[in-house]
Structure 1
Amino acid sequence: MPKRSKRYSRVRELVDRAKFYSIDEAIELVKKTATAKFDETIELAIKTGIDPRKSDQMVRGTITLPHGTGKKVRVLVFAKGEKAKEAQEAGADIVGAEELIEKIAKEGFLDFDVAIATPDMMRYVGRLGKILGPRGLMPSPKSGTVTEDVASAVKEFKSGRIEIRNDRTGNLHLPIGKVSFDKEKLKENLVSALSQINSMRPQAVKGRFLEKAVISSTMGPGIKLDISKIEAGR
């Protein structure tokens, strides 16, 4: 186990490892334990009750945070002609077609956070599956990143829309804001994220869906959340 810094050990003592904190308590504590010199990201980690080996229990989709993540999102769009123009006008950072696919395939270009494609481009983009797929960057109709309405998709991802996808162990990880956000904005983002993810419960899941949720700042300790009301749909 890596040795923790004195700073981390000091703030870790502020957190009761056995306690499940209310959302208000957790927000206040996560800000207090964020002592790095940069504006740390507040991250949410969720342990789900899915079986990640079963395709009918996968969790994948998008959610929108009311106050965004505080991060500048670089959006790439695979499109041609008029759709490429629409994407550029909507604020896409990178727009292209076959030449962009070649750049990713041959040069390993991956300087973007979200990839969007028009349906007609997917027969070309498909060859990038082994490159984009493991990184969670492959466009998908389910996540809203394969669409004719590229302008709306670009604007939504730029303003706080996040793609959600479980990892190999069935866990979910996502940013919910920055330490510089005020408490109310962080709370609204957190409650909204939990509620939207809870509504994405696969029908094949038996028992609890949201088993445990933890928030932390980039350099801070994990803080366990009491999510009983979220699970009950209240």
Structure 2
Amino acid sequence: MKRGKRYKEAAKLVDRTTLYDPKEAADIVVKTASAKFDETIECHIKLGVDSRHADQQVRGAVVLPHGTGKSVRVLVFAKGDKITEAEEAGADFVGGNELIPKIQNEGWLDFDVVVATPDMMAVVGRLGRILGPKGLMPNPKAGTVTMDVAKAIKDIKAGKIEYRLDKTNIIHVPIGKVSFGTEKIMDNFHTLMSAIIKAKPSAAKGQYLRSVAITSTMGPGVKINGDKISAEK
């Protein structure tokens, strides 16, 4: 892959053979972010599990103390009093059956998170082939299938993110913006890592944290020493 001049200059500040202390890694990522926009800081975690086995899945959600820096659009599938509850809690879109053709036939996907009450999952299930591949399908483990839609919306708007393994056993999640600075990025990082460590499946054997790296949208990745990460902030 051909890299630009800015990337090459930033890459000179990163020793690919070194595993950095988490704070030092965050300092480097912030320093090497040179784009004209506020770059997103992402965390990539490779785990020593096999996502093909149900008992080794790692999936959940956590509220980052400083959010992600992104405005999140929430769609809620509900009926009855829960529609009013969702609207009052700040949901961007609320509805039921009438939304199915809009998503299926018109390709409407102007939302970032989908929340549904349990009694609406039969309806939402019809959208599985569309929402599933995009990571938008509501899930009880992520707290997006619930009767307490007000709390779900509040948490999501406050910075709740979902983490889960991809097919290569890696978790990819945003943990903030460059403008946050090192301290806030570290708060978010430790909160995320604590949740992932505590979510370790009992069936997982050997080294759990295989590799951890953080990077900005346009910058080089910085590898973190897993021995310096604990389940406690």
TM-score, normalised by the number of residues in structure 2 = 0.97
Partner of 2:157: 158
Distance in 2 (CA, whole Å) between partners of 1:155 and 1:123 is 24
CA contact (8 A) 1:210 1:231 kept: no
> Counterparts in 2 of 1:21-170, with a 5 A limit?
21-170=20-169
CA contact (8 A) 2:198 2:231 kept: no
* Off by >3 Å, runs of 4+ in structure 1: 231-234
Aligned residue pairs total 233
The structural deviation recorded for 1:203 is: 1.3
The secondary structure found in structure 1 opposite 2:42 is strand
CA contact (8 A) 1:20 1:225 kept: yes
The secondary structure found in structure 2 opposite 1:107 is coil
Partner of 2:213: 214
Partner of 1:8: 7
Q: Structure 2: which amino acid aligns with 1:18?
A: T
The structural deviation recorded for 1:230 is: 2.3
The structural deviation recorded for 1:111 is: 1.2
Higher mean alpha-carbon deviation, 170-179 vs 186-195, is at 186-195
Distance in 2 (CA, whole Å) between partners of 1:72 and 1:102 is 26
CA RMSD of aligned residues (A): 1.2
Distance in 2 (CA, whole Å) between partners of 1:232 and 1:207 is 17
CA contact (8 A) 1:136 1:165 kept: no
CA contact (8 A) 2:67 2:160 kept: yes
The structural deviation recorded for 1:233 is: 6.1
Point out where structure 1 has 5 or more consecutive residues left out of the alignment: none
Point out where structure 2 has 5 or more consecutive residues left out of the alignment: none
- Kindly provide the CA deviation profile for residues 76-108 of structure 1, in whole angstroms up to 9, marking residues without a partner as x: 100112101111111111111001122112212
TM-score, normalised by the number of residues in structure 1 = 0.96
CA contact (8 A) 2:197 2:231 kept: no
Distance in 2 (CA, whole Å) between partners of 1:28 and 1:230 is 16
